[in-house]
Structure 1
Amino acid sequence: MTIKEAQTAVDNWIKTYGVRYFSELTNMACLTEEVGELARVMARTYGDQSFKAGEKPNLGEEMADVLWVLLCLANQTGVDLTAELQKSIEKKTKRDVTRHRNNPKLNQ
């Protein structure tokens, strides 16, 4: 699935099963919440925290939840994420082409 197809799939789901998109501000709060849930799984999987008894982490599910809300926000605000991601990659390529090559922390 391409990013554009994902944006369309989310929009179709909202139109078919949802009443409407939540407001942009509500979705921003939802995105923050989902990123927090992803951070919790990351901290407990790769960091120093322990999982709670009975907790069943699913890293992919948490990432997909973040992506879902991000796609909602893009749809609501008219952002073409495919085009914006391409621009971001080009910007980083020009800006950072040699930036990290001599970073001793990355060359260990």
Structure 2
Amino acid sequence: MNLKEHQAWLTDFYKTRGWYQYPTFIHLNFMTEEVGELSRAIRAIEIGRDHPGEAKKTPAELEDNLEEELADVLDQVLMISSKYDIDPETLLQRSQNKLTKRFQK
């Protein structure tokens, strides 16, 4: 599955659940929440959690959680771009063009 296919699937999924109609600002809040969870996942890998209420996770569990949180952030980027009718492939090209223009001589 590519990004465009996943964006279409995700949009349909959100519409079925009644989540798509939320304003884009709400989706941005969802993304902010997911970025916080991603931050927590990275912290757990880099410096540990040292939280008495949490069981210590194995390296495989930490990596699995990192992948899950990265996917959640990506999904919210795809939802916001869908709300503005932006093809996700365009985002990839925009990123490459910007960095190439800025840093290549």
* TM-score after normalising by structure 1: 0.77
What does the per-residue CA deviation read over 1:28-60, in whole Å, with 9 as the maximum and x for residues that have no partner? 1110010010011101211x3425322654111
- For 1:93, which of 70, 83, 100 is the aligned residue? 100
Matched, 1:37 2:37: yes
The unaligned stretches of length 5 or more in structure 1 are 99-108
**Counterpart AA for 1:97:** Q
Structure having the higher Rg: 1
- For 2:66, which of 59, 62, 76 is the aligned residue? 59
The aligned residue for residue 82 of structure 1 is 89
The aligned residue for residue 3 of structure 1 is 3
The aligned residue for residue 14 of structure 1 is 14
Work out the CA distance in 1 between the residues paired with 2:26 and 2:40: 21
Kindly indicate whether structure 1 or structure 2 has the higher relative contact order, using CA contacts under 8 Å at least 6 residues apart.
2
Secondary structure, counterpart of 2:80 in structure 1: helix
What does the per-residue CA deviation read over 1:57-87, in whole Å, with 9 as the maximum and x for residues that have no partner? 4111011111111111111111212112212
Work out the CA distance in 2 between the residues paired with 1:2 and 1:76: 19
Q: How many residues align?
A: 96
Runs of 4+ with >6 A deviation: none
- Which structure has more helix as a fraction of its residues? 2
The unaligned stretches of length 5 or more in structure 2 are none
